[in-house]
C-alpha cells in the first residue's frame, strides 16, 4: 500500500517564508554601507509540496565567479517546487558587492579573503555588528546554515582562469561527514575530486570547517570559466544545473535517475602548485592538463611582452599530473597561480 505523502512544511528564513509548493524570492538584509545602501543577500526558496531534506546552494561567494549563478538561474527556470520532497534554498550571488564590481572580494570592506574568509565560525569574524562581510557571514551561519542538510558552494574561474573540479576535503576528524560529502561530490558529476588543496587544510572557521563541525556535508565545485564563455561555456552551465539536480536526487528531494557523463571519478590530492614569480609577461605552457610532469621540468615559459625574450621558466616543484586548474590567458601578472599537480590519481568506479 502506498504511504501517504508527508505534507510539506513552511520554510522560514529570516523575513522570508515559503509555503509548500511555493517559489519565493527576496532579500535578507544585513548592514548598510557608508552611503546607506543596504547590504543584502538574494535568496530563492523552493519549498517542496512534500516534506524532506533541505539543500542550500550558494554561488558567487567570490563575487566575480558567476558560473554557479548561471546554473542556479537555469534551475529556477526548470524546477517546480510542487514536484519536490524537501526544500531548495538558492543564493545566486552571495557576495553582491563583489558581483557588482566584477571582483572576488566584497567591495564594501575588501576583506582579502572575501566573504568565505569571514565565515569565522562562532567567533570572531562572523558578527551581527561587524563589517558588511562579517554581517553576511553571521547571516549565513545563523539564518541559512541551520536550515541545511547539505551545502553546495559553487565557485568558478573568470575569463582568464579555468578551474574544473569539486573540492571535497578529507578531514580525519570528521570521517563520517566526509564520506557523505564524497557521495554528493560524486553525484554532482565533475570527474576530478580534490581530497586536499595546495593551499592546505581548510581554515578553522571557514565554510567547510563550520559545516563539518555541524555534521553537514559540504562540497565546493569549481565550474570552469575561461575566455569565449558565451560561445563555449553553455555546457558548463548545463553541467552545473545537472549537478544540482543530481545532488537533489541523491538526497531524495527530486525524483529521477542521476545523470552522469562518466562511469568513474578521479580522487586527487593537489600537492603542488606553480605560479609566476616576480617576472610577469606572456605565458607559454609546455604541458597539457592530465600530463605527468617530473620535478624540475619546465612547466611554463614567460616571455618579455615587448622584446619577445625568454625572461623566466617555471619548473615543477615535484612530480605530478597536471590538474584541471589554472591560467588560460597568455598575459600574466606577478605571482599568478598557473597550475596544480597531484602525485597520484585514484580512479574510483561509480558503478555501485
Ligand atoms: Zn572562489
Q: What is the pLDDT along the chain (352 residues), one digit of tens a residue?
A: 556 667 878 999 999 999 999 999 999 988 888 889 999 999 999 999 999 999 999 999 888 999 999 999 999 999 999 999 999 999 999 999 889 999 888 888 866 554 555 554 343 577 888 888 888 888 888 999 999 999 999 999 999 999 999 999 998 999 999 999 999 999 999 999 999 988 766 666 678 888 999 999 999 999 999 999 999 899 999 999 999 999 999 999 999 999 999 999 999 999 899 999 999 999 999 999 999 999 999 999 999 999 999 999 999 999 999 999 999 999 999 999 999 999 999 999 997 6
Cα–Cα distance for residue pair 273/321, rounded to 1 Å: 11
Q: How far, in Å, from the CA of 20 to the mean position of ligand 1?
A: 33
Q: How far, in Å, from the CA of 241 to the mean position of ligand 1?
A: 18
pTM over 0.85: yes
Residue 117's nearest CA partner among 178, 204, 57, 56 is: 204
Please list the residue range(s) of the chain that carry CATH number 2.40.50.100.
273-339
Q: How far, in Å, from the CA of 140 to the mean position of ligand 1?
A: 17
Q: ∠ at Cα 276 (344, 193), nearest 5°?
A: 30
CATH number of 11-262: 3.40.630.10
For cell 625572461, what's the residue?
311
Q: How far, in Å, from the CA of 16 to the mean position of ligand 1?
A: 27
CATH domain 273-339 topology: OB fold (Dihydrolipoamide Acetyltransferase, E2P) (2.40.50)
Residues near ligand 1 ion, CB 5 Å cutoff: 62, 65, 155
210: which 3 cell numbers?
563550520
251: which 3 cell numbers?
538526497
Please list the residue range(s) of the chain that carry CATH number 3.40.630.10.
11-262
Amino acid at each position: 500500500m502506498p504511504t501517504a505523502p508527508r505534507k510539506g512544511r513552511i520554510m522560514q528564513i529570516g523575513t522570508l517564508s515559503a509555503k509548500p509548493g511555493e517559489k519565493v524570492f527576496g532579500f535578507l538584509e544585513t548592514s548598510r554601507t557608508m552611503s546607506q545602501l543596504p547590504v543584502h543577500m538574494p535568496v530563492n526558496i523552493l519549498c517542496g509540496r512534500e516534506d524532506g531534506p533541505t539543500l542550500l546552494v550558494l554561488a558567487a561567494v567570490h563575487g566575480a565567479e558567476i558560473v554557479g549563478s548561471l546554473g542556479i538561474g537555469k534551475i529556477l527556470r526548470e524546477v517546480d517546487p510542487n514536484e519536490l520532497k524537501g526544500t531548495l534554498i538558492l543564493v545566486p550571488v552571495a557576495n553582491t558587492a563583489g558581483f557588482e564590481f566584477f571582483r572576488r572580494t566584497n567591495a564594501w570592506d575588501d576583506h582579502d579573503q572575501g566573504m568565505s574568509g569571514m565565515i569565522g565560525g562562532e567567533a570572531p569574524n562572523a558578527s551581527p555588528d561587524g563589517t558588511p562581510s562579517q554581517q553576511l557571514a553571521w547571516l549565513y551561519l545563523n539564518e541559512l546554515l541551520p536550515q541545511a542538510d547539505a551545502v553546495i558552494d559553487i565557485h568558478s574561474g573568470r575569463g582568464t582562469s579555468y578551474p574544473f573540479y569539486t573540492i571535497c576535503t578529507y578531514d580525519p576528524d570528521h570521517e563520517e561527514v566526509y564520506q557523505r560529502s564524497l557521495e554528493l561530490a560524486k553525484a554532482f558529476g565533475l570527474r576530478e575530486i580534490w581530497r586536499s588543496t595546495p593551499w592546505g587544510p581548510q581554515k578553522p572557521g571557514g565554510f567547510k570547517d563550520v559545516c563539518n563541525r555541524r555534521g553537514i556535508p559540504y562540497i565546493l565545485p569549481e565550474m570552469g570559466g575561461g575566455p569565449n564563455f558565451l560561445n563555449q561555456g553553455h555546457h558548463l552551465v548545463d553541467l552545473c544545473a545537472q549537478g544540482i539536480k543530481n545532488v537533489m536526487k541523491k538526497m531524495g528531494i527530486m525524483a529521477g535517475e542521476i545523470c552522469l557523463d562518466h562511469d568513474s571519478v578521479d580522487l586527487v590530492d593537489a600537492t603542488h602548485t606553480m605560479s609566476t614569480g616576480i617576472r610577469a609577461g606572456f605565458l607559454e605552457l609546455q604541458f597539457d592538463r592530465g600530463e605527468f610532469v617530473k620535478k624540475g621540468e619546465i612547466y611554463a615559459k614567460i616571455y618579455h611582452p615587448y622584446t619577445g625574450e625568454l625572461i623566466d621558466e617555471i619548473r615543477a616543484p615535484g612530480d605530478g599530473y597536471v590538474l584541471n586548474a589554472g591560467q588560460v590567458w597568455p598575459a600574466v601578472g606577478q605571482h599568478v597561480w598557473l597550475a596544480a599537480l597531484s602525485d597520484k590519481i585514484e580512479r574510483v568506479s561509480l558503478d555501485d
